[in-house]
Each structure stands twice: as C-alpha cells, then as structure tokens.
Amino acid sequence: MSGRKRDISTGAKDLDKDSKNRTEIVIDEGNGGGQEGTAAEGSVTIPLAEYEGLRAAVEDLKDKYLRVAADFDNFRKRMEREREDIICYANERLISDLLPILDNLDRALESAGGELKEQGILEGVRMISGQLHGILERCGLEPVPGIGEPFDPSHHEAVGVLPSGEHKEGTVIAELQRGYKLKGKVVRASMVHVAGDGNGDAGKDGDR
C-alpha cells in the first residue's frame, strides 16, 4: 500500500519492549478510493486531506489557547493595578488631611534653631518627617515640580508676579506651599510666585 506512515504512542513507556501498544497511522496520499494492500494490525489509514485538516485544526486550537492564556494574564495584571489604585485613591482624603502636618514638619526642620540641634530634638523631628514622607511615597504621593518650572495652572496656583532678570517670564521662582500628586492626580496645587516683567503680564498669561 502506498502511503506515508506516522506513529502515535498509545501509552507504552517503552515502545521497543511493547510493540503492541504502538499505533501506526498510514496516510493515504491518494484519494482514499483504492488500497494496494492491507494495513498492518494496529494501524489506521486516513486520507492525506483529512490528516492535514486535523493538523490544521490542532494548530488553530493551540493558537486560540495561547491567545486566551495571554488575555487572561493581561486581565490578571490589570485587575491587580486597579486594586492598588482603588486602595490608594480610597485614602486620598486621609492623605490630603495629612499634608498640613507634613508642611509643619518641613517648616520646623527649615526654621530649627541651634538649641534644638544641641538637644537632639531636631534629629527626632527629621526622622519622623522622613518616615511620614516614606509612607506617603509608597502609596504614590509625589511633590509637584516647582521652582524653575514653567507655570502650569493644572499644577500651580499663582499668588503673585515678581520681576526677575534671571528667569524667563512665566517661570516659577518661589514656592510658598508645596503641591502634591497622588498617582499622577494633583491633590493639592503648589502656591507659587511667577516671574514677570513687573506689570503683571506674565502672571495673567500664567493664569490662563
């Protein structure tokens, strides 16, 4: 019989020791109408077209499986990100209430006198401030870029325009209160002074 032969194991661990557990598929390369001989025991004869169709179906199912597995993995990662965002945004009100405390700690460190340094109190305040900053940063809190940045009404609140020969008009030159973003969302805008020409024109441009 003319045909190509493919062997498919039916479960034997050692085909050399147990040839009875061996199935031989004989692919008929003709039209399947005639046979030149009798297939050996344990063999199945199928037309080549049918074999190719089955192989294509297997490849199609394999491709669909890989796509579904990739989609599920992306879905799982997306759900994990959304869960983290929900937790952080749920704490947005609490974080906003903590910002004045953060401001006071920063001001205390900036204005600390020599007496506090000698008593070691300053170092304790610095440690507390660092711990609070670290906790909020892990939740996604970050300061809004301030001095030296172009005025951005979505991030800055201009409270004054000052003439400056060193900075381009519309540039933030002083920060009165630091602004913060939580996961990219502004929870408090920075209160800033903006460079102008002395006539307030730059401030008006900035407010726009």
Pick the CATH number of 143-207 from 3.50.50.60, 3.40.50.620, 2.30.22.10, 1.10.150.170: 2.30.22.10
Nearest to 155 by CA among 177, 133, 139: 177
Q: Is the dihedral of CA 28, 29, 31, 36 positive or negative?
A: negative
How many alpha carbons lie under 13 Å from residue 87 in its C-beta half-sphere?
A: 10
Per DSSP, 171 falls in state B
- How many CB atoms lie under 10 A from the CB of residue 190? 25
Q: How far is CA 126 from CA 104, 107, 123, in A?
A: 12, 11, 5
pLDDT on residue 14: 43
Name the token pair of 142: 């970050």
User: 161 — phi, psi (to 5°)?
Assistant: -120, 125
Residue 155 confidence (pLDDT): 92
The pLDDT score that the predictor gives to residue 125 is: 81
Average pLDDT of each block of 10 consecutive residues along the chain (208 residues)?
46 43 55 48 76 90 92 90 77 84 84 64 82 86 90 91 85 91 89 76 43
Single-letter amino acid, residue 28: D
User: What's the count of helices (H) and strands (E) in the chain, helices before strands?
Assistant: 5, 9
Over the range 90-121, which residues count as b (16 or more CB within 10 Å of their CB) and which as e?
A: ebbeebeeebeebeebeebeeeeeeebeeeee
Counting Cα atoms < 13 Å in the Cβ hemisphere of 16 gives: 0
- pLDDT value of position 71: 92
Question: Which stretch of DSSP H or E encloses residue 47?
Answer: strand 43-47
